[in-house]
């Protein structure tokens, strides 16, 4: 999958990685990357500034 290069396979793996990061500030979504938005079947813009509750799907995923 990864070829041998001066950067090494670990750098190539990190560059190819897709993982989600959610930053919360005072129970509001500040930033949501495309991976988490896809899991939630939402667009990032739809979730910006949304209030979260304990029953929200995103809260369950993070716990």
Q: How many domains does the chain have?
A: 1
CB under 8 Å to 38, separation ≥6 — which residues? none
Phi, psi (degrees; rounded to nearest 5) at 47:
-100, -10
State the number of CA atoms in the 13 A half-sphere of 44 facing the CB: 11
**Confidence (pLDDT) at 6:** 59
Distance of CA 33 to the CA centre of its chain: 4
Residue 5 lies inside a defined structural domain of this protein: no
Residue 9 lies inside a defined structural domain of this protein: no
Residue 55 lies inside a defined structural domain of this protein: yes
Residue 36 lies inside a defined structural domain of this protein: yes
Task: Tell whether pTM > 0.75.
Answer: no
**Confidence (pLDDT) at 41:** 78
Residue 34 lies inside a defined structural domain of this protein: yes
pLDDT tier at 63, thresholds 50, 70, 90 = very low
Residue 33: which domain range? 20-62
Residue 4 lies inside a defined structural domain of this protein: no
Q: pLDDT tens digit string along 3-59?
A: 555 567 766 665 666 666 666 667 666 666 666 677 677 776 666 666 666 566 665
CA–CA distance, 39 with 41 (Å, rounded to integer) = 5
Residue 11 lies inside a defined structural domain of this protein: no
Whether the CB-CB separation of 10 and 2 falls below 8 Å is answered with no
**Confidence (pLDDT) at 48:** 63
């Amino acid at each position: 999958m990864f070829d041998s290069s001066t950067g090494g396979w670990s750098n190539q793996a990190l560059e190819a990685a897709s993982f989600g990061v959610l930053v919360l500030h005072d129970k509001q979504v500040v930033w949501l990357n495309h991976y988490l938005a896809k899991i939630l079947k939402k667009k990032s813009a739809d979730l910006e500034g949304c209030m979260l509750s304990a029953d929200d799907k995103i809260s369950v995923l993070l716990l």
